[in-house]
Chain A
Amino acid sequence: MNPLSRLYYSSHKMWKSVQLYLILAGPGIVVMVADNDAGGITTYAATGAKYGFNLIWFLLILIPVAYYVQEMTVRLGAVTKRGHAEAIFDAFGAFWGWFSLIDLMIVDWLTLVTEFVGMTAALHIFGVPPWLTVVAVCVLMGVIVLNGRYWTWEKITLLFCALNLIYIPGAFMVNPSVHDILRNGLIPNFPGGFNGQLFFYLMANIGTTIAPWMLFFQQSAVVDKGMLEKDIPWGKFDTFLGSILTVVVAVFIVVVTGTVLHGVDIDDASQAARALMKTNHWVGAFMAIGLFDAGLLGAICISLASSWAFGEIFGWAHSLNTKIKEAPWFYASYFFTLITAGLVVLIPGAPLVLITLFVQVVAVTLLPAALVFLILLLNDKATMGEYCNTPSQNFIAGSIVVVIVVLSTLYGVSTLFPTLFQ
């Protein structure tokens, strides 16, 4: 074969691989980018404002953490063709099943409220009243799911994922010091020493990286997409790419607030957007648009995670490939969680801060259980066969799960007792 033919052959093969990936891409990227939800954006903005670039190294560590946990859901979904809720019911019985399902419903609903809080706060900056944001979001999310095709839903959601990259041009516009980013950000360090406040921020960043709904969502999405065992390598690649994207976005948010708002106390991302607008209108506007997009992506995924889980257990038709007539309960539960969460934000004097704090507490009751079940299910040779966890995968995933469980529990407990780590 001459060099020209070889070049043609290899480029043709590569193009075929890209085409195949584009068909299979989706669940991994969507779940990872949606992980940067409204709460996540607030955490990253506050981290940058508090510690500048000094904790970027810690964010980079979260790439393998997120990947190793989420890739297990890809294998489990592709092999068993079951969502996480159904897998728990089947393997561990009704007690643990109901515990997980009810806990998931509560966590998802509370998280959905926080997404609406983020979205309404973001668009309020542009003068949009909260009621209009809630109505527009419900209509938009209705249009996205009611087309009756998983593929269309996924591609529209991927467009919103692309919008999440808006923080990258924002970071370039504030002219950060690359030298400072490399010097302070990439070398592990604990600014001001390892104290209670820094520990709280580290826990918050871990807490926003792995959320219970992500496990349920990705496994159900893999099943609804119809991925098979042979698609697992692409699913893992998709998850890896997503985990890089989510951390890249987080790093750029830290760069923006670390450059412009270093030393300013940030309570939420909309406050950061307003403060940024005073320095550079467009950067502040990008922060607000990004916050709205993050809330929307979170809302899209979280409401689906609940509906899929309910459909699996109650035996309802529960696929985005079905029309509303074919799966009325699936869509009813989707809209019920969505609309009720949106309405809570519109209630004057609703305890939104309490809800935001309560999410962390309820999440730590579900996250350890969901993660432990995940590892046990991945070690079930009778079901997983050759896709069972290897000893090295067990060691890595087990270590990550232990660290996540300990840190997220401490985070949840510190939410209950705020002076514990001070």
Chain B
Amino acid sequence: MPSQLKRFAGKIREINQHYAKPRIEMSGAVKVSLMALRVYLLVLVALLIYKFVLLVR
């Protein structure tokens, strides 16, 4: 089992190394789109946390 977990962790590292650098050209449109996505996801996470707090109260 530990050896399987080690192998799995190794595979994840290998994938991270393989895809370390984005291949797509980072033009202005791509940068703006990715930034907008980050902001969108942060807002959603904030809403989820707010909902969770409301439920807990």
A residues neighboring B (CB under 8 Å): 89-94, 96-97, 313-314, 361, 364-365, 368-369, 372, 376-377, 379-380, 382, 409, 412-413, 416-417
**Cβ B41 vs Cβ A376 within 8 A:** no
* CB-CB nearest in chain B for A91: B24
CA of A303 to CA of B34, assembled, Å: 28
**Cβ B16 vs Cβ A94 within 8 A:** yes
> Quick one: which of B15, B40, B41 contacts A94, CB cutoff 8 A?
B15
**Cβ B22 vs Cβ A92 within 8 A:** yes
**Given A364-B44, A416-B47, A416-B48, is A93 in contact with B20 using a C-beta cutoff of 8 Å?**
yes
| B55 → chain A closest CB, angstroms | 10
Number of B interface residues in the complex (CB < 8 A): 22
CA of A92 to CA of B21, assembled, Å: 8
CA of A361 to CA of B44, assembled, Å: 9
B residues neighboring A (CB under 8 Å): 11, 15-16, 19-25, 29-30, 33-34, 36-37, 40-41, 44, 47-48, 51
* CB-CB nearest in chain B for A314: B11
> Quick one: which of B21, B23, B37, B47 contacts A372, CB cutoff 8 A?
B37
Q: Which of A94, A96, A377 has most B Cβ within 10 Å?
A: A94
| B27 → chain A closest CB, angstroms | 9
CA of A93 to CA of B17, assembled, Å: 10
Instruction: Identify the 5 closest CB pairs spanning chains A and B, nearest first.
Output: A93-B22, A91-B24, A94-B19, A89-B19, A94-B16
> Quick one: which of A90, A364, A379, A382 contacts B19, CB cutoff 8 A?
A90
Instruction: Please give, as numbers and ranges, the residues of chain B lying within 8 Å of A416 by CB-CB distance.
Output: 47-48, 51
| B43 → chain A closest CB, angstroms | 9
> Quick one: which of A369, A372, A376, A412 contacts B24, CB cutoff 8 A?
A376
**Cβ B23 vs Cβ A90 within 8 A:** yes
CA of A379 to CA of B30, assembled, Å: 10
> Quick one: which of A92, A313, A412 contacts B34, CB cutoff 8 A?
A92
**Cβ A92 vs Cβ B24 within 8 A:** yes
**Cβ B19 vs Cβ A380 within 8 A:** no
Of the A-B pairs whose beta carbons lie under 8 Å apart in the complex, a sample of 14, sorted by A's number, is A90-B23, A92-B22, A93-B19, A96-B34, A314-B11, A314-B15, A364-B44, A368-B37, A369-B37, A372-B37, A376-B30, A376-B33, A379-B29, A416-B47
> Quick one: which of A91, A364, A379 contacts B23, CB cutoff 8 A?
A91
Instruction: Please give, as numbers and ranges, the residues of chain B lying within 8 Å of A96 by CB-CB distance.
Output: 22, 34
Q: A94-B15, A96-B22 are in contact. List 13 more A-B contacts (CB 8 A).
A: A89-B15, A91-B23, A93-B19, A93-B20, A96-B34, A365-B41, A365-B44, A368-B37, A372-B33, A377-B24, A413-B47, A416-B47, A416-B48
CA of A365 to CA of B33, assembled, Å: 15
CA of A115 to CA of B42, assembled, Å: 30
CA of A303 to CA of B19, assembled, Å: 25
> Quick one: which of B21, B30, B41, B51 contacts A417, CB cutoff 8 A?
B51
| A269 → chain B closest CB, angstroms | 27
